[in-house]
Amino acid sequence: MGSTHRIGVVGLGVISKVYLETLSQARDAAITAVADLDPSKARTVADSLPAARALSVSELLGADDVDVVLNLTIPAAHAEIALGAIENGKDVYGEKPLAATFADASRIMSEAGAAGVRVGAAPDTVLGTGVQTARAVIDAGEIGRPLAATAVMVTPGHERWHPHPDFYYQPGGGPLLDMGPYYVTSLVQLLGPVARVIGAGSSLRDERVIGSGPRAGESIPVDVDSHVTGILEHASGALSTITTTFDGVATKAPNIEVHGETASLIVPDPNHFDGDVLRHPLGGSGWEVVPPRAGVVGAARGAGLLDMMRGATPRASGAMGLHVLEIMTGLLESARSGRRVELATTVERPPLVPLG
Q: Which of 6, 10, 4 is nearest to 35 (CA)?
A: 10
pLDDT tens digit sequence for 286-331: 999 999 999 999 999 999 999 999 987 899 999 999 999 999 999 9
What pTM did the predictor assign? Answer: 0.95
Asked if residue 220 lies in contact with residue 165, where contact means CB atoms within 8 angstroms, the answer is yes
| pLDDT, tens digit, 9 for 90 and up, residues 201-235 | 999 999 999 999 999 999 999 999 999 999 999 99
Which three-class secondary structure state does DSSP give residue 91? strand
In angstroms, rounded to a whole number, what is the distance separating the alpha carbons of residues 345 and 342?
9
In angstroms, the CA 100 to CA 96 distance is: 9
Cross-strand partners of 267 = 256
Q: How far apart are CA 184 and CA 103, in angstroms?
A: 19
CATH fold of the domain at 125-296+315-342: Dihydrodipicolinate Reductase; domain 2 (3.30.360)
pLDDT digits (tens, 9 = 90+) for 326-341: 999 999 999 999 999 9
> Is the per-residue pLDDT at 152 higher than 80?
yes
| Single-letter amino acid, residue 133 | T
Confidence of residue 2 (pLDDT cuts 50, 70, 90): low
Spans of all domains in the chain: 5-121, 125-296+315-342
Residue type, position 5, single letter: H
Residue 153, classed as helix, strand or coil, is strand
CATH superfamily of domain region 5-121: NAD(P)-binding Rossmann-like Domain (3.40.50.720)
21-64: per-residue pLDDT in tens?
999 999 999 999 999 999 999 999 999 999 999 999 999 999 99
How many distinct helices (H) and strands (E) make up the chain? 9, 17
The residues with which 220 forms a beta bridge, in sequence order, are: 208
Structural contact between residues 174 and 228, judged by C-beta atoms closer than 8 angstroms: yes
Residues for the chain: how many in total?
Answer: 356
Provide the Cα torsion 320, 245, 199, 349; round to 10°.
20
Q: What does residue 192 show for φ and ψ, rounded to 5 degrees?
A: 90, 180
Coil, strand or helix: which one is 32? Answer: strand
